[in-house]
Amino acid sequence: MNSSWKKHYQKIQEKKLSASATLVKAIALFDKEKVDLPMACDLGCGTGIDTIALIEKGWEVIAIDNQKQAIEELRNGIPVEYSSKLILIKADFEVITLPNVLLVNACFSLPFCHPENFNVLWQKIIQSILPNGRFAGHFFGVNDSWASDPEKTFHSKEQILNLFAGFELEYFEEVEKAGKSIDGKEKNWHVFHIVSKKIS
């Protein structure tokens, strides 16, 4: 596997990160609606912090990642009593097939889709979300330090709003600030944090 991803997972384990704030907000909204038999797709699941948070709240989860180590760590780390609620898939963004679900969670994963493949992937995501289902996740803005990387995808605010035509934006926050990446390197973050409900 790419050594940078191996270091990334090690840093996440060291920091003992909690489930993403956007996912927590989405789960709370579903809890108010008392949804029965909820199913989610955790797209770019990594080692499964958000996946496990969903299962703990009663969700069945299809967890997808293209890194073998991530899939193996999630498989080995999931409590036995949760294993029946988890489907693990190793696949690239370019070839994934998404089932119909109430929630697509994409915590800092979509920016790592190659720009040439993003529009097709996004259409798959939109089509997979059931009516009154939700998207929770993040996009990188054009002022992010990594925006010069041609392998990653970045969006302006206007482009983000266009992506969510047919959705109600329940939480939308644009954050631009100096900070550090998880490996401690200085960078400017430009991130859109989003929870949205499919209305058409």
Output the six-digit token pair for 189: 């973050």
Output the six-digit token pair for 38: 């909820």
* CATH superfamily, domain at 19-198: Vaccinia Virus protein VP39 (3.40.50.150)
Q: Give the C-alpha separation, 91 to 24, whole Å.
A: 25
pTM: 0.90
- Is the pLDDT at 12 greater than 90? The verdict is no
- What is the predicted pLDDT for the residue at 37? 82
- Is the pLDDT at 93 greater than 90? The verdict is no
Average pLDDT over residues 6-21: 62
- What is the predicted pLDDT for the residue at 13? 54
3-state secondary structure 61-128: EEEEECCHHHHHHHHHHCCHHHHHHEEEEECCCCCCCCCCEEEEEECCCHHHCCHHHHHHHHHHHHHH
In the chain, what are the domain boundaries? 19-198
> How do residues 29-44 score in pLDDT, each as one tens digit?
999 998 888 999 999 9
- What is the predicted pLDDT for the residue at 8? 46
- What is the predicted pLDDT for the residue at 177? 95
Instruction: Map tokens 């089932």 to a residue.
Output: 99
In sequence order, the 6+-apart residues with CB closer than 8 A to the CB of 189 are: 144, 145, 175, 176, 177, 178, 179
Phi, psi of 127 (to 5 degrees): -70, -25
- Is the pLDDT at 187 greater than 80? The verdict is yes
Closest CA to 5 of 47, 57, 50: 47
pLDDT band at 146 (very low <50, low <70, confident <90, very high): very high
